[in-house]
Homo-oligomer: A and B are copies of this chain.
Amino acid sequence: MTATGITLGELAVRFGCELRGDPRLVVERVDSLESASDGALSFLINPKYRPQLATTRATAVILGQAAATQCPVAALVAANPHAVYARVAEILHPSVRAAPGVHPSAVVDPAADVDPSAHVAAQAFVGPRARIGARTFIGPGCVVEEGAQLAADVRLVARVTICHGVRIDARTIVHPGAVIGADGFGLARDGGRWIKVPQLGSVRIGEDVEIGANTTIDRGAIGDTIIEEGVKLDNLIQVGHNCVIGAHSAIAACTGIAGSTIIGKRCQVAGRGGFAGHLTVCDDVIVTATSVIMHSITEPGVYSAALPAVEAQAWRKTVARLRSLDDIARRLLRLERAAGDRAARHIEPDPAQAKKGDPSD
Interface residues of A (CB under 8 A from B): 30-32, 35, 46, 48, 80, 82-83, 85-87, 89-90, 93, 95, 103, 105, 107, 121-125, 127, 139-141, 143, 145, 157-159, 161, 163, 173, 175-177, 179, 182-183, 185-190, 192-198, 200, 208, 210, 212-214, 216, 218, 222-223, 230, 232, 234-236, 238, 240, 248, 250, 252-254, 256, 258, 265-266, 271-272, 274, 276, 278, 286-295, 301-339, 341, 343, 346-351, 353-355, 357-358, 360-361
Contact B334 A335 (CB under 8 A): no
Complex copy number for this chain: 3
A293: B residues at CB distance < 8 A: 308-309
Closest 3 CB pairs of A and B: A320-B349, A82-B188, A294-B308
In the complex, which of the residues B274, B322, B337 contacts A325, with contact meaning CB atoms closer than 8 Å?
B322
Contact B292 A290 (CB under 8 A): yes
Contact A197 B159 (CB under 8 A): no
Contact A349 B329 (CB under 8 A): no
Contact A200 B358 (CB under 8 A): no
Contact B309 A308 (CB under 8 A): no
Given contacts A140-B127, A161-B158, contact A312 B290 (CB under 8 A): no
Complex Cα gap A319–B292 (Å): 14
Complex Cα gap A335–B328 (Å): 12
* Shortest Cβ distance from A218 into B: residue: B235
Contact B332 A322 (CB under 8 A): no
Given contacts A140-B143, A216-B212, A294-B289, contact A351 B323 (CB under 8 A): yes
A254: B residues at CB distance < 8 A: 238, 254, 256, 274
How far in angstroms is the closest Cβ of chain B from A269? 11
A343: B residues at CB distance < 8 A: 331
For this complex, 27 residue pairs linking A to B, each with C-beta atoms less than 8 Å apart, are: A80-B189, A82-B189, A86-B188, A86-B195, A90-B196, A90-B198, A123-B125, A123-B141, A123-B143, A158-B161, A185-B253, A214-B216, A216-B253, A236-B238, A236-B256, A252-B258, A272-B274, A286-B312, A288-B312, A293-B308, A294-B309, A301-B312, A304-B316, A305-B309, A323-B354, A334-B358, A334-B360
